[in-house]
A and B are shown apart, each in its own frame.
Chain A
Amino acid sequence: MDVAIVGASMTEFGEREGWLVDLLAAAGAACLDDAPLGPDAVEHCYVANMAGGEFEGRTGVMNALVQELGLIGAYTQRIDQTSASGGAGIHAAWQSVASGASDCTLLVGGEKMTHRSTPESSDIIASLTHPAEYKHGVTLPSFAGLTARLYLEQTDATREHLAAVAVKNHRNAVDNPDAQFHEEITTEDVLDAPTVADPLGLYDFCPVTDGAAALLFVPESVAEAVTDDYVTVAGVGGATDTHVVHQREDPTRLSAVAESAETALEQAGHGIEDVDVAELHDMVTLLEPLQLEALGVTDPGEGWRPAVEGTTARDGAFPVNPSGGLKAKGHPLGASGVAQVYELVAQLRGEAGPRQVPSDVALATSIGGFGNCVTTTVLEGAR
């Protein structure tokens, strides 16, 4: 069964006063307000969330959300795929409708993080690693540092070239009222920032963020009957790579991005050359070029060039992260994959305002860990 998205929303990302359920409820209610269907239509309600129990000491958030939104009776579950929980939520919501199990599924992704100190947040996120990694005090940024050094050794890329990703995505976020940051930065700002994981610095990395986002999924036949303003889910693919990051044959290749994208694009009947705009999981600047290579947008070792040459700018041939990306919009773990698709829905509806790029086909990748598990989604504007 073909699946459509008929409602989308996100809260402002940043340091928010509300706690997890407050953020989820705000995004969920706004999504239902955006949709041509009311709460009575919702049969499944999924919550994408990585670590509500660890960050806030609260579990059972999916049941709490059902009650807050007046959805009592709906089937509900929480979906955790670490920092790809949002993408995994899309996979689950799409499956629920495509299989006929649900005629209307609300997906809400969210995370509340900023009340924790950076060492605490880093440790909660690092708890996704293998014991043989965790005992050494690894963090997700340290994986990025290890991989970046290798990438810079093996390719013609420099720190300045990676910084171009941060500069571009901060520039894009200036026009996104829901983004965490609204300030442009320069290459010098990136290069002069304090080191976080040598050779990468503070401005190479996304911030710690609170926020939530939501999407409403229905069969396309239902969408056609209730609105002209919907987006179709043309393909969804999920894949995994090694849990132990250093056990990859080529540490600079994101094989789960490549495999999940191949599945999603094949389902959609598209090649990567058909994609007009993409939201990629730029937890760190390095990940944007690595994804461009895994997606086949560039050859291996060349993924740093598009940001430098302007190809991935909003007015470039292949715009990437017009929302500002995780880098500047923020990265509330469970919300990020959902918020990527929120941005692409806005783009395909022609509602992205100053961020608008011409687009009929859009793609998002949501990455868990350091490429450990990935969901890719391909969307099309209403036929």
Chain B
Amino acid sequence: MSDPELLAHGCPNGHYTNPGHERCPTCGESQRETVDLADRTGEVLTWTESTATPSGVRRPNTLAVVVFHVADTTVSVLGGTTEPVAVGDAVKPEYVPELRDPDVAVREAASQAWDGYRFRPVRDE
């Protein structure tokens, strides 16, 4: 079975977001278009290594904001990283079935998805 999609959601005015919303946060139009980013390469805008993590979250938890080019614009995606990264690194999404332990989270386990993508640096061969 293939991995789920990592979607950027777009409106008719060319604004893209991840995650998607009922209406585009920028212009209020419906987001009718989707672009799958799962196989694309993005660039690390910024990152942090969080050491004071909530229950059920890996420690340390390295997080990054990654920018992907979509059409004539960009879309930012938040996710963990599989290993240390630097600003400007090229990264690719890597599917993780369970990003944290939902059974010890404050939030009701059934109320949201817990799978998703972390980012793996693209190293020179």
A-side residues, CB < 8 A to B, are: 54, 118-120, 122-124, 126-127, 130-139, 141-142, 145-150, 153, 194-199, 242, 244-247, 251
Q: List 28 A-B contacts (CB under 8 A).
A: A119-B55, A120-B106, A123-B54, A126-B54, A126-B106, A131-B113, A132-B19, A132-B78, A133-B78, A134-B105, A135-B100, A137-B50, A145-B49, A147-B46, A149-B47, A149-B87, A150-B45, A153-B87, A196-B50, A197-B52, A198-B48, A198-B49, A198-B50, A198-B51, A244-B19, A246-B76, A246-B78, A251-B65
- The interface residues of chain A lying within 8 Å CB-to-CB of B113 are 131, 135
Instruction: Tell whether, in the assembled complex, residue B47 and residue A146 are in contact, meaning their CB atoms are under 8 Å apart.
Output: yes
- Interface SS of chain A: helix, strand, loop or mixed? helix
Instruction: Tell whether, in the assembled complex, residue A196 and residue B52 are in contact, meaning their CB atoms are under 8 Å apart.
Output: yes
Q: How far is the CB of A158 from chain B (nearest CB, A)?
A: 16
Instruction: Tell whether, in the assembled complex, residue A146 and residue B65 are in contact, meaning their CB atoms are under 8 Å apart.
Output: yes
B80 at the interface (CB under 8 A from A): yes
A139-B52, A149-B48, A242-B25 known; A131 vs B112 contact (CB < 8 Å)? yes
Beta-carbon contacts of B11-30 to A below 8 Å, as 1s and 0s?
00000011100000100000
Residues 49-96 of B at the A interface (beta carbon under 8 Å): 49-58, 61, 63-65, 76-80, 87
Instruction: Tell whether, in the assembled complex, residue A141 and residue B65 are in contact, meaning their CB atoms are under 8 Å apart.
Output: no
- The interface residues of chain B lying within 8 Å CB-to-CB of A247 are 17, 25, 76
A135-B113, A136-B100 known; A123 vs B46 contact (CB < 8 Å)? no
Q: Which of B54, B87, B114 is the one whose CB lies under 8 Å from A139?
A: B54
- The interface residues of chain B lying within 8 Å CB-to-CB of A120 are 54-55, 106
Q: Count the A-B residue pairs with Cβ separation under 8 angstroms: how many? A: 124
- The interface residues of chain B lying within 8 Å CB-to-CB of A145 are 48-50, 63
How far is it, in angstroms, between the C-alpha of A299 and the C-alpha of B70 when the chains are bound? Answer: 32
Instruction: Tell whether, in the assembled complex, residue A195 and residue B51 are in contact, meaning their CB atoms are under 8 Å apart.
Output: yes
Q: How far is the CB of A351 from chain B (nearest CB, A)?
A: 37
- The interface residues of chain A lying within 8 Å CB-to-CB of B51 are 194-198
B107 at the interface (CB under 8 A from A): yes
| Besides A131-B19, A136-B78, A197-B48, 12 new A-B residue pairs in contact (Cβ under 8 A), listed by A number | A54-B106, A122-B52, A123-B106, A126-B54, A127-B106, A130-B19, A134-B112, A137-B57, A137-B61, A137-B99, A146-B64, A196-B50
How far is it, in angstroms, between the C-alpha of A245 and the C-alpha of B46 when the chains are bound? Answer: 13
- The interface residues of chain B lying within 8 Å CB-to-CB of A137 are 50, 53-54, 56-58, 61, 63, 80, 99-100
